[in-house]
Amino acid sequence: MVRRFFTSFKKLSNKDKRLVAAVKSIVGYKPFRLELFRLVTQHSSVAKTLPNGFRASNERLEYLGDAILGAVVADYLFKKYPFKDEGFLTEIRSRIVNRESLSLLAKKIGISQMLESDFSRSRYHFKSIYGDMMEAFIGAVYIDRGYKYCQKFIINKLLIPHFDLDEIIENNTNYKSILIEWSQKENKSIRFDIEDQKQEGSKKEFRAAIFVNSEKISKGAGLNKKKAEQNAAFKACRKLNLI
Amino acid sequence: MVRRFFTSFKKLSNKDKRLVAAVKSIVGYKPFRLELFRLVTQHSSVAKTLPNGFRASNERLEYLGDAILGAVVADYLFKKYPFKDEGFLTEIRSRIVNRESLSLLAKKIGISQMLESDFSRSRYHFKSIYGDMMEAFIGAVYIDRGYKYCQKFIINKLLIPHFDLDEIIENNTNYKSILIEWSQKENKSIRFDIEDQKQEGSKKEFRAAIFVNSEKISKGAGLNKKKAEQNAAFKACRKLNLI
């Protein structure tokens, strides 16, 4: 691995000094290759085009970070729960590794602030931006320091301090099922509609609506159909006093 | 890492000796923890129930191997194609890491034979069994030797010898599109149907049929709808002399 650590911290621009400080406070070390972490904040909508026509954004790092995060969490759960089957492991992993929880995590540990110093907030109306940055950040740590280091970062700095696994395992409420059960008991017709779908780049946002006896009683949004439905179903359960 | 290498090869059963030899010929080393590789051949349909009620099968290793393989291939493509965007990387990865190609790989490198020595072939009429074993095998190498070793195994023993990346990149033919284009030009009605869906455990097999002017002209199968449709579309294209 080529380690091009900037020898003189003093020669850095103020913006780069802030970036070095941010990485050090989040991961615990000064980055070897600062350009990787500069890229983390480059959303595709503001990507610079290189002389060869390639647009340099954080999307490649995001793709890599997503895969590395998936592997590290898979390994962690595999060893932590030796007598749980793969269905359980897959389910718990998907509750840890999803855009909503990664967005929240990015805000908690301050990765979202790396962006605010660079760009105006208004450009990023799309929620998934922080989750994407979180994954890109993980990709950058992996390229900069390798698997072992990145694995320790994910487990010790992200997973253990920010995810309560016991709670994640317990919190298995399927609001859609509660609603369907209720409708059968009460002899009501129920309909789940995916109403609308916003698209930006490769990201989609889904909107679900729930109708009881043809009357719309709730709506919800999410980054996939299931999430949107669950969100709408949760609101419907609250409205109908089922939870 | 605890290394419980069996000290005396002579004390092993003949079956275990064959397993050690198989692992050595495939990966290049004698396994530290033979029980991991014994588990690779344990399909869920023949899993043994442990005293605590847990059914020991290869499914947990498969879940882990899938994640590790995804990360290693993501990293490999990320570094090999520095100026390709994440859409390209994701697409190429999915053409390498899918059940069909992993099944084929398992047969090529002899992992499928580890099974034949243990069980009768007739039990495993479901194609994905070898792909599952391939993933479980990767999971076992990872647990036995760690990420770095497993990464080298995947790249040097699987990826480089058995996948022609140039061919994979070129071979981007979408037979469904060819068919739709043809039907519009020739003013024919065309319909793609998912006819039937076999399920075994968590695995599904889909069957697609294609109708031109309400007449069935081809059918195809695959482990997802898209694959089944592409398969049927390929046959239809051949039949109609479009390729």
Give yes or no for residue B65 having a pLDDT over 50.
Answer: yes
Average the pLDDT over B112-134 and give the result.
Answer: 67
pLDDT of A122 reads 45
Q: Do A63 and B74 touch (CB under 8 A)?
A: yes
Q: Do A67 and B68 touch (CB under 8 A)?
A: no
pLDDT band at B4 (very low <50, low <70, confident <90, very high): low
Give yes or no for residue B31 having a pLDDT over 50.
Answer: yes
For the record, the structure tokens of B58 come out as: 């290869």
The alpha-carbon gap from A215 to the nearest alpha carbon of chain B, in Å, equals 33
Q: Do A71 and B75 touch (CB under 8 A)?
A: no
Max distance between CA atoms of chain A, in angstroms, equals: 73
Give yes or no for residue A4 having a pLDDT over 70.
Answer: no
| B158/B152 Cα distance (integer angstroms) | 9
| Chain B residues 97-126 within an 8 A CB cutoff of chain A | none
Output b/e per residue, A43-79; b: 16+ Cβ within 10 A. bbeebeeeeeeeebbbbbbbbbbbbbbbbbbbbbbbe
DSSP state of A121: G
Q: Is A75's Cβ below 8 Å from some Cβ in B?
A: yes
Residue A16 is assigned to a ligand binding site: no
Q: Is A68's Cβ below 8 Å from some Cβ in B?
A: yes
Residue type, A73: V
pLDDT of B100 reads 80
ipTM of model:
0.71
In 3D, which of A175, A178, A190, A182 has the Cα closest to residue A227? A175
Separation of first and last alpha carbons in chain A: 54
Tell which CATH classification among 1.10.3720.10, 2.50.20.10, 1.10.760.10, 1.10.1520.10 matches the domain A13-170. Answer: 1.10.1520.10
In 3D, which of A147, A100, A111 has the Cα closest to residue B67? A147
Helix axes B99-109, B128-145, angle to 10 degrees: 70
Q: Where in chain B is the domain with CATH 1.10.1520.10?
A: 13-170
Give yes or no for residue B86 having a pLDDT over 50.
Answer: yes
| B214/A81 Cα distance (integer angstroms) | 53
Give yes or no for residue B201 having a pLDDT over 80.
Answer: no
Please give the mean pLDDT across all residues of chain A: 85
DSSP structure string for A19-70: HHHHHHHHHSS--S-HHHHHHHT--GGGPEEPTTS-EE-THHHHHHHHHHHH
pLDDT of A116 reads 55
Give yes or no for residue B125 having a pLDDT over 70.
Answer: no
pLDDT, tens digit, for every residue of B94-121? Answer: 889 987 889 889 999 988 877 654 555 4
Please give the mean pLDDT across all residues of chain B: 85
pLDDT band at B202 (very low <50, low <70, confident <90, very high): low
In 3D, which of B105, B203, B200, B107 has the Cα closest to residue B154? B105
pLDDT, tens digit, for every residue of B166-198? Answer: 888 877 567 788 888 899 888 999 999 987 677
Pick A54's closest partner by Cβ from B62, B71, B83: B83
State phi, psi for A232 to the nearest 5 degrees: -65, -40
Output b/e per residue, B115-146; b: 16+ Cβ within 10 A. beeeeeeeebeebbbbbbbbbbbbbbbbbbbe
**Which residues of A form the catalytic set?**
66, 135
Count residue pairs from A and B with Cβ separation < 8 A. Answer: 74
At residue B73's C-alpha, the angle toward residues A35 and B95, to 5°, is 125
What is the reported pTM?
Answer: 0.71
Distance of CA B52 to the CA centre of its chain: 31
pLDDT of B127 reads 60
Decide: helix, strand or coil at residue B85: coil
Residues of B in contact with A74 (CB under 8 A): 63-64, 66-68
In B, minimum Cα distance to A147 occurs at B147
Give yes or no for residue A118 having a pLDDT over 70.
Answer: no
Cβ(B134)–Cβ(B103) under 8 Å? yes
| Chain A residues 176-235 within an 8 A CB cutoff of chain B | 202
Give yes or no for residue A39 having a pLDDT over 50.
Answer: yes
CB-based contacts of A55: which residues, under 8 Å, 6+ apart?
Answer: A44, A47, A48, A49, B85
Cβ(A221)–Cβ(A228) under 8 Å? yes
pLDDT of A127 reads 60
At residue B8's C-alpha, the angle toward residues B5 and B14, to 5°, is 100
Q: Where in chain A is the domain with CATH 3.30.160.20?
A: 175-239
Average the pLDDT over A140-144 and give the result.
Answer: 97
Cβ(A66)–Cβ(B73) under 8 Å? no
In A, minimum Cα distance to B147 occurs at A147
In B, minimum Cα distance to A70 occurs at B67
Residue B135 is assigned to a ligand binding site: yes
Give yes or no for residue B1 having a pLDDT over 50.
Answer: no
Pick A75's closest partner by Cβ from B50, B59, B64: B64
Residues of B in contact with A78 (CB under 8 A): 60, 63-64, 143
Give yes or no for residue B45 having a pLDDT over 80.
Answer: no
Output b/e per residue, B179-191; b: 16+ Cβ within 10 A. beebbeeeeeebe
Tell which CATH classification among 2.60.120.620, 3.30.160.20, 3.30.460.40, 3.40.50.1260 matches the domain B175-239. Answer: 3.30.160.20
| B188/B240 Cα distance (integer angstroms) | 13
Give yes or no for residue B17 having a pLDDT over 50.
Answer: yes
CB-based contacts of B68: which residues, under 8 Å, 6+ apart?
Answer: A71, A74, A75, B138, B139, B142, B147, B150, B154
| A124/A118 Cα distance (integer angstroms) | 12
DSSP state of B47: P
Residue of higher predicted confidence among A87 and A29:
A29
| A109/A199 Cα distance (integer angstroms) | 28
Give yes or no for residue B221 having a pLDDT over 70.
Answer: yes
Average the pLDDT over A105-125 and give the result.
Answer: 69
Q: Is A23's Cβ below 8 Å from some Cβ in B?
A: no
CB-based contacts of A216: which residues, under 8 Å, 6+ apart?
Answer: A209, A210
For the record, the structure tokens of A62 come out as: 């995001």
Pick B78's closest partner by Cβ from A64, A71, A90: A64
pLDDT, tens digit, for every residue of A157-210? Answer: 999 999 999 888 877 567 788 888 899 888 999 999 987 677 655 567 788 999
| B1/A237 Cα distance (integer angstroms) | 48
